[in-house]
Structure formats: C-alpha cells, structure tokens
Amino acid sequence: MDRLQSHIHLQPERLHAWILDFLKHTTRWRSEIAFSVEGRPIYTLHAGNESERIVIWSQMHGNEATGTYALTDLLLTLEEDANLLNNLLNRYSLVVVPMLNPDGAARFSRYNAIGSDLNREGLRALSPEAALLKSLLGKNAAWAFNLHDQRTLFSVGSTSVPATLSLLAPSTITQRGEQARLNAIKLISNTLETFEVNDRKYIARFSDEYYPQAMGEWCTDRGISTVLVECGGHYHDPHRTIARQMCFHFLKNALQHLSDPVATSSIAYFSLPINGQNLRDVLLRNAKLRTPAGTVCADLSFTAIYYPAEKMWKWQLEEVGDLQLKFGYIEIDLSDADPVEHYQWKPLTLYTLEDIPKTWHPWFTTT
Ligand SMILES: [Zn+2]
C-alpha cells in the first residue's frame, strides 16, 4: 500500500480514499463513521478489545494536516510490525481518528463549518465533531494524543532553530489530573531519548498555560494522560515532510513504550526549551527604501500563506523595521541591492510573486 503523499492541503476525499484502501488491506482494524456538520464522513479506526483505550486524533483544526499524514504512516507501520501491535493490544485498545474536522480541511480552515474552534469545545461540545471526540474519550480512555500543526514562526527557545516538533503535557487543575500529567511527562521524556541528537535539537515545549476549554486540558483534568504534539516548520519544507517524520517517530516510540513500559527517571521533558516566536519564512535585511526623506534602511519579514482556491502561496509582509533579534528560514542581506519604493511595502499586505521584484524571486520559493 502506498504512503499518502504530503501536501499542505489535505482534501478529505484524498484521505478517505486512502483509509478505504487501508481497510481493504487490514484484518486488524475496523472502522466506524460519524458525520461532520456538512455531512462529511469522519472515520474512527478501532483495534483490539481491551477496555482501556489509547485515543489518537488529528486535524481538529482543518488546516493542520501534518499529524494526519503521520497517523497514516503509523497505521502502515502497525500493520507491518505485528509484534508492536500485538503487544499494544495486550494492554490497550486503539482508537484513531485521522481528521476530526473534514469540513475545515475541505476549505483549509482552522474552524469547523459553523465557524467554531473545536479545541475550545472541551467543556461544552457544541458541534458533532467535538461530541464524537468526547464520546470516544469518555469510554475509558487512559491515553490521549492530540495532533496539531503550529505556525512556522515558532523557534526552539529564543534561538534561530525551528521548532519542527513541540510537545506538551497539558496543565491541569485537578488532583487526578496531576498524576495523569506526570505520566504524560514521563512518556514524553522516555520518547525523547529515542530521537537522534540531530533531530532532538528541533524539538521544543509548547506553552503550558491552562486553557479551561481546550480538549487536552479537559482530558487531563479527567485523569486521561494526554500528549499534545505540534508539527512545525523546517528549512525548505513547505509541506512539512520533516515534521511528519518526527511526529511519526514520536508516536511510534511512545506506543512502543506503552506496549512494554520500563521504569524511567528521565525528566528530559523539562529540559526542552519553551517555544519562542523568533522565526520568519523570509527575512530581508537592510533593504533600502526610497522615501521623500531619502533612503531608509530597514529589515522586512514575510510569512508564506497557502491559498487553496488558487492553489498558490502568497507572501504576507509581517514587519518593517529593525529585526536584528529575529531570524529567517531564508535570510538575505540587501545592503548591496538597488533601493525600492517604500510605499510598496506595507505590513499585513499580501504579495504574490508577481508583486515581488524579480531579483528577489529566488528567496520567495516554496520548494
Ligand atoms: Zn491546532
């Protein structure tokens, strides 16, 4: 069976065709179908009969597909590695929801079809998607893995290194939540040890501010050990294939550990730097801006944004000014370049490649 090919915009139909193909090839998994606000199918895959569950879901935010790709890789691996699956199923049953929010995915939006952020329906499930997830978690879930994408601006601490993966054991306000969180911290710590040193430097810790309405906090407060995984940017990787690999590696090794737990004293989780926000997709330093007062030298930062209707990337100018404390995935010094007209470069304006000077084109690439 083929792997699902990475593209930043994963149409639900493409995922669903892959799942149907997978179901034809497997004897270990069975599926259930629920429906989104707009009637799109939401597939839940089940394996095993144990009462305690591991529930893994992705794409509650429709435009965050990287975790879904990692889940399809995980399903293929569990299909090939019968030992791992058997060991897991001796202890737990597995419940996997790849793409909880197909309506959002169809329109490449964070929100579902009524415009709600499903990750703020933890306390009160308004939408059928959130109600489905809460019903799956309500049936004796011991572990929850909540897969997201984060913006490319996130860095490992205040460095120039991209946070290609950020991990979190969500905060809690309950006593049983504290024990559940401790278990999640231990699991993350153990799993971190399985990464190569060179990969581990791209891993950060997501902010542990307590959001009472977030699904991860809802889980943890109820005593479900919960891990939030945020897939992020990497160099020359607009479709996030590196984050996909790292997310897959994390999930596979976390499950490996759950299938055969060994006592650990590692608290590597706490050595992860907290996410910083220091990165920009393109950072042009020392651009000469022609103004009525003469030439002004300033730095310009841009974010690449994908527009699914036009199937193209546009570039949003984020900041103009002194950006010496920021870093770029691509950084260019324009000290020796010709001046440009300042009025053409306004923050929060979207630019297509046609609007950008030809000599700058090599840096505005999405490959
Ligand atoms: Zn998200």
Three-state SS string over 68-109 comes to HHHHHHHHHHHHHCHHHHHHHHHHCEEEEECCCCHHHHHCCC
Predicted pLDDT at 51: 86
- How many Å lie between the centroid of ligand 1 and the Cα of residue 263? 32
DSSP alpha helices (H): ranges in the chain? 12-25, 66-80, 82-91, 102-106, 128-138, 175-192, 197-200, 215-221, 241-259
Averaged pLDDT score across all residues of the chain: 96
pLDDT at 177 over 90: yes
pLDDT at 366 over 80: no
- How many Å lie between the centroid of ligand 1 and the Cα of residue 150? 7
Predicted pLDDT at 264: 79
Which residue segments constitute the domains of the chain, with CATH numbers given?
Answer: 12-276 (3.40.630.10), 279-363 (2.30.40)
Q: Bridge partners of 351?
A: 315
- How many Å lie between the centroid of ligand 1 and the Cα of residue 58? 9
pLDDT at 272 over 70: yes
| CA geometry: angle 201, 205, 207, nearest 5 deg | 150
Question: What is the CB neighbour count within 10 angstroms for residue 314?
Answer: 18
- How many Å lie between the centroid of ligand 1 and the Cα of residue 292? 44
Type of residue at 128: P
Predicted pLDDT at 94: 98
**3-state secondary structure (DSSP) of residue 331:** strand
Predicted pLDDT at 80: 95
Predicted pLDDT at 265: 80
- How many Å lie between the centroid of ligand 1 and the Cα of residue 338? 41
- How many Å lie between the centroid of ligand 1 and the Cα of residue 46? 23
φ, ψ for residue 16 (rounded to 5)? -65, -35
367: confidence class by pLDDT, cuts 50, 70, 90: low
Q: What is the pTM of this model?
A: 0.97
pLDDT at 97 over 80: yes
φ, ψ for residue 88 (rounded to 5)? -65, -45
Predicted confidence (pLDDT) per residue in 211-245, tens digit: 999 999 999 999 999 999 999 999 999 999 999 99
Mean pLDDT of 268-281: 96
Predicted confidence (pLDDT) per residue in 304-337, tens digit: 999 999 999 999 999 999 999 999 999 999 999 9
> Which of 178, 228, 239, 184 is closest to 206 using CA atoms?
228
Predicted confidence (pLDDT) per residue in 47-69, tens digit: 999 889 999 999 999 999 999 99
- How many Å lie between the centroid of ligand 1 and the Cα of residue 76? 24
CA dihedral defined by 122, 125, 126, 127, rounded to 10 degrees? 100
Place of tokens 């053409």: 344
